Amino acid sequence: MYRDYLWSPGRMKWVGKRKPYKGCVFCGIARDDPRVPKKVIYRDSLLMVIMNIFPYNVGHLQVVPLRHVEWPEQLTEEEFTHFCDMIKRTIRLLRKALSPVGFNAGMNLGSSSGQSITHLHFQIVPRYAKEAGFMESLMGTKVMPETLDQTYKRIMRHADILKK
């Protein structure tokens, strides 16, 4: 449990009652709605790869079907095959762009699993050998060593890996 907090009042519009966007955030990103902040790495006719703008760690990406489904079995065979292939490609991209030593990867399915957005998505969180320092270990505060824009630029230099 964290003992200290970094305050980010701008997040309240996403976690509080004053949400600037009503509806599924991933569907908003898929429709390129200007009200939804986004960092899209890749998009085709079936899915997109996006940065989590509230990442657990540097380079936290998500593979998201464009069509709103909540469960993997709701995907067509074509969508499911492409979804799984894109997970592999996204891990390859992160290895090349950021050189992590490991990953946390997976899906939360259903509200009791901790899922906060009901649109199916696969999380890929890079892990690094020296990611925990003084602030994380002793102060209970996560420190991100670079901005989202800096990470986005590093990832985009290798985004061709996601193309077939």
CATH number at residue 53: 3.30.428.10
Q: Which residues pair with 49 in a beta bridge?
A: 42, 63
In a domain, 100, yes or no: yes
Helix, strand or coil, per DSSP, at residue 126: strand
pLDDT at residue 138, rounded to an integer: 53
In a domain, 83, yes or no: yes
Please say if 121 is a catalytic residue: yes
Catalytic site residue from 60, 82, 119, 121:
121
- pLDDT category at 115 given cuts 50, 70, 90 is confident
How far, in Å, CA of 155 to CA of 49, rounded? 11
In a domain, 52, yes or no: yes
Q: The domain containing residue 68 runs over which residues? A: 38-162
How far, in Å, CA of 120 to CA of 123, rounded? 10
In a domain, 127, yes or no: yes
pTM: 0.84
The number of folded domains in the chain is 1
